[in-house]
Amino acid sequence: MLGALFYILIFPGFLFLVFSGLTAEFIDRKIYARLQNRVGPPWFQAYADFIKLLAKEDIVPAESNPKMFRVAPVFALTAAITAFLYIPLWGKEALLSFNGDVIIVLYLLTLPTLAFFIGGWYSTSLYSRLGAVRSLMQLFAYEVPLFMGILASALLADTWSLKEMVIFYTAHPWFWMFNLTGFAISLVSLLGKLEKVPFDIPEAETEVVAGGFTEYSGRMLAYLRLTLDVEMVVGSSLLALVFFPFGLNLGPLPGFLLFLFKVLFILGLISLLRTVVARLRIDQMVNFCWKYLVPLALLQILLNLILKGTLLR
Amino acid sequence: MLKEVLGSIFKKPATNLYPAQKLDMPDKFRGKLKFYPERCIGCKMCMRDCPTNAITINKLAENKFEAVFDLSRCIYCAQCVDSCPKKALEPTKEVELAELDKNKLRVIFKAGDTGNSITKNDK
Amino acid sequence: MHDSKDFKIPIGPQHPALKEPEGFSVALKGEKILGVDIRLGYNHRGIEKAAEERTYVQDIYLIERVCGICSHSHSTCFVQAVEEIAGLAVPIRALYIRTIIAELERIHSHLLWLGVAGHEIGFDTLLMYSWRDREVVMDILAAITGNRVNYGMNTIGGVRRDIDAQQTEDILKALTILEERTKYYIEVATQETTIIKRLSGVGILSREDVLRLDAVGPTARASGVKRDVRADDPYAAYAELSFKVITDDHADVYGRTVVRVKELMESYKIIRQALKNLPAGPLTVRAPRKIPVGEAISRYEAPRGEDVHYVKSNGTEKPERVKIRAPTLANVQAVKHMLRDRYLADMPIVVAAIDPCFSCTDRMVALKEEDCARAKIINWQTLHAFSIEWYKQQGIDFTELNKKLQDKLKG
């Protein structure tokens, strides 16, 4: 019982994720700033912002539905944190594991976006509603290539369980190289999930102020922002596990360091990508996802099917 | 774009860390004004031309004048410097003039002062 | 507000997309814009009236503060009008220096615009880079004029400060850096896929519409209308300098970007020529304090387009009337036209593409409310009492709160 509580609340659960999420935000902002030839925030900036927001007043708009308005952020954060419990960090074992947990993780990662929609919609502010609708519209565009990219890798391993995927890729060490297209697709789609440029359409500052977050303040805004940070960690850990499944039998410490390195690499790529592009319009975004990402993902799946039929026979 | 962006990692940031690292103002900068009371002849051309009435010249005695600057009104155009026939006014490089107390923005140059020592008006 | 399919959203007077308060009410159907209502006047400062109460010398500094970015444009335009009334022959060296400052200002304004445009389409890297490079020209301006924004270079009958040999060298050095950077920006603006995607085909304003709506500056030039006061009606030293009027046929936001970045290259050319041919001579002629009776219109090509000043004098130290038509006023009508059938996401960049300067535009706006007839003038006490009554009727009573405040102030 105590052990379970430790796992859920401290490591690798809530506390660890809060700290790593905020650190990830700092790393992302720092890299972004350095790429733009700026100094960037000090290391404690993300923590300071978070604590400041916790101390501020919660304002619930009179017109909103207070219940939904309050529940959405907590719901989003919980879902993002729960997803992390299914991801093996260094060994082959995750905290929770069963056949089909890839789908559960992806599902749990979709939930925050839905929660953003609900929160934004029930704020009833014009900007919030526009942002909420946009985030849902965007969801349908990036979710498909993201799923296809990750499932292509699972397909090669012939399993729906992260644990067994790890076992497969440890047995066939260089097979992850085949999935690099899938990695690129998933990384770009992940930007949509994290609402980062070029896919920060739902919270495009110059158009809809802060989108679904416009009416949020204080603690609830802190949770929402934390959700995005945690999602960033969970998303990049998932990508690290699925697409770079090497060195997973090194033991806790070197394994953890390698894991950190992989996640940092993916974080760096995310920051780099959002530095070199402009925000797309929602129609362009949907077009891009369905026209380029989905066919590419289909190609990846086809490649993996052929591989399965030839090399793994 | 990618090349430029990646190159930036190895460049020093362009940001000036301002309060820690002071800025150097150019020589001709129009900052806070300096007044030489011994040169003043009391023609009050500066008062007349000042767009914001930030400057007042008071006659203390024969050929003795003091200048009162209201820095909260001054727009640092330095027209008074141009208007002065005797070059009794001069802009300096001083720019950090923010004060919490508005009264401290009233700067008086008394006759007899060298102009460097600034007596602040305490109300 | 249960149907989100068709509603009006306010962009402004306070909105992150706008750098200055201005009201745009956008009727939307989904993401499509059905119509835009523009309401000017949030920033009216009464500068024209204030100019009538000040002497000509004081007015220079007042008019300079019409706009932060094109401060030299407005002051030059005003000073030109006054000089024409007074019949002053401005020394040629002063005219050249005015030209140099004007072009330096254009460089800083266009680089600023490029950054703002980048920000509006979510490309903050472009914003950071172009504003970093803009510091080069800002430093030069500060070194020559003594200030970064309100240069205070003009005076009636000439300029106040000279450009010496050292400064000439500094300017030339800065131009080399800027030229290289501008070449890079031309490359970025014309080759980056996401930028082109966001800019081309957005905010189309055809040549006919430019002529009909009287758009000015880069907005007009991007639609192929060769309209530039510097070439059409040369002032300052422009008649003696050779430069190209940049036009473009894209007629959209992309075209306006291309026109602006290419104009930067022309500006470097103009400054180089002007510095090379800078004639020796005095900086000012003596100007009378009392300007003789007369009136004049002065035109000036500000970075945003044609700026027009009208000055009427009555023989005293103060002008009788000053009228300012800032370029944004000519362009703002076009925005409504450009936004037809576009997406909400295009709104910020289309508005930004005319390089709006709303506080310059809000010169004289009379807002006529329908119940204007009931309007009366009341004094402060009456207004105060009225507001207390009004809130009481709304069910809000401030008496308790007021008492507490009074006690607090006493105690």
Residue B6 lies in a domain: no
- Asked if B50 and C58 come within 8 Å (Cβ–Cβ), the reply is yes
Chain C residues inside the 8 Å CB shell of A126: 1, 7, 9-10
Answer yes or no: is B22 within a domain: no
CB atoms within 10 A of CB C178: 25
Scanning A245-274 for CB atoms below 8 A from B yields: 272
Q: Looking at A49-63, A112-126, C21-35, C242-256, which range is the least confident one?
A: C21-35
Q: Which residues of A touch C197 (CB under 8 A)?
A: 278, 280-281, 284
Over residues C73-132, the pLDDT tens digits come to 999 999 999 999 998 889 999 999 999 999 999 999 999 999 999 888 888 888 999 999
How far does the CA of residue C391 sit from the closest CA of chain A (Å)?
19
Please give the model's pTM, rounded to 2 decimal places: 0.86
Q: What is the DSSP string of C3-55?
A: --SEEEEEE-SS-TT-SS--EEEEEEETTEEEEEEEE--TT---HHHHHHTS-
**Contact between C344 and C11 (Cβ < 8 Å):** no
Q: What is the pLDDT of residues A246-269, one digit of tens each?
A: 777 777 788 888 888 889 999 999
- Which chain B residues are within 8 Å of C160, Cβ to Cβ? 82
Task: Provide the pLDDT for residue B119.
Answer: 45
Q: Is B5 part of a structural domain of the chain?
A: no
Interface touch C57/B78, C-beta < 8 Å: no
**Domain coverage including residue B48:** 32-118
Q: Which chains are within 8 Å of A by 3+ CB pairs?
A: B, C
> Using 50, 70 and 90 to split pLDDT, how confident is the model at A195?
confident
- Measured between CA atoms, the residue of chain C closest to residue A123 is C1
Residue pair C319/C51 in contact (Cβ under 8 Å)? The answer is: yes
Least CB-CB distance to A34: which of B1, B2, B9? B9
Q: Is B112 an interface residue toward C (CB < 8 Å)?
A: no
Q: How far apart are CA C267 and CA A131, in angstroms?
A: 42
In the block, residue with structure tokens 């970015």: C69
Q: Which residue from A198, A206, A283 is facing C16, i.e. has the nearest CB?
A: A206
Distance of alpha carbon C354 from alpha carbon C331, whole angstroms: 7
pLDDT of amino acid C288: 87
- Sign of the alpha-carbon torsion through A222, A228, A231, A233: negative
How many other C-beta atoms are found inside a 10 Å radius of the C-beta of residue A299?
14
Whether residue B55 lies inside any domain: the answer is yes
Phi-psi category of C395—alpha, beta or left, where left has phi over 0 and alpha has psi -120 to 50?
A: left
What is the pLDDT at residue C1? Answer: 39
Q: Name the domain count of chain B.
A: 1
ipTM for the complex shown: 0.86
In this prediction, residue C366 has a pLDDT band, given cuts at 50, 70 and 90, of: low
Q: Domain for residue B88, yes or no?
A: yes
At B115 the pLDDT is 44
A-interface mutation test, from C5, C114, C124, most A Cβ less than 10 A away = C124
Residues in B closer than 8 angstroms to A34, CB to CB, are 8-9, 13
* CATH code of the domain in which B80 resides: 3.30.70.3270
Q: Which residue of A has its CA nearest to C119?
A: A206
- Restricting to B residues 40-59, those with a Cβ less than 8 Å away from any Cβ of C are 48-51
pLDDT tens, A209-223?
A: 888 888 888 888 999
Q: Decide if C118 and A278 are in contact by the 8 Å CB cutoff.
A: yes
C-alpha B3 chain-centroid distance:
45
Q: Coil, strand or helix: which one is C365? A: coil
From chain C, the residues in CB contact with A204 under 8 A are 122, 345
Q: What CA–CA distance (Å, rounded) separates A58 from C83?
A: 60
Would you call C54 and B78 a contact, using CB atoms and an 8 Å cutoff?
A: no
User: What band does C363 get if pLDDT is binned at 50, 70 and 90?
Assistant: low
Tell me whether A280 touches chain C (CB under 8 Å). yes
A283 vs C197: CB contact, 8 Å cut-off?
A: no
CA angle C57, C60, C62 (to 5 degrees): 115
Tokens 């990036």: give the residue.
Answer: A142
Q: What are the residue ranges of helices labelled H in C121-206?
A: 124-145, 165-191, 193-199
pLDDT digits (tens, 9 = 90+) for A119-170: 888 888 888 888 898 888 889 889 999 999 988 888 888 888 888 888 888 8
> How confident is the model over C18-32, as pLDDT tens digits?
888 888 888 888 788
State whether A200 and C9 contact (CB < 8 Å): no
Instruction: Tally Cβ neighbours within 10 Å of residue C158.
Output: 23
Chain-chain contact of C55 with B48 (C-beta, under 8 angstroms): yes
Q: What angle separates helix A294-310 from helix A180-193, to the nearest 10 degrees? A: 150
Residue C252, CB-side half-sphere exposure with 13 Å CA sphere: 15
Is B117's pLDDT higher than 50? Answer: no
Q: How high is the mean pLDDT of chain C?
A: 86
Q: Is residue B56 part of a domain?
A: yes
Q: How confident is the model over B55-88, as pLDDT tens digits?
A: 888 888 877 888 888 888 888 888 888 888 888 8
Q: How far apart are CA A232 and CA A245, in angstroms?
A: 19
| pLDDT-based confidence at residue C368 (cuts at 50, 70, 90) | low
pLDDT at B120 over 60: no
Q: Which helix (H) or strand (E) holds A253?
A: helix A252-276
Residue B9 in domain:
no
Interface membership of B95 toward C (CB under 8 Å): no
pLDDT reading at A48 higher than 90: yes
Other CB atoms within a 10 A radius of the CB of residue A41 amount to 16
For C27, phi then psi, to 5°, come to -90, 125
Residue-level pLDDT at C371: 59
Q: Within a domain: residue B95?
A: yes
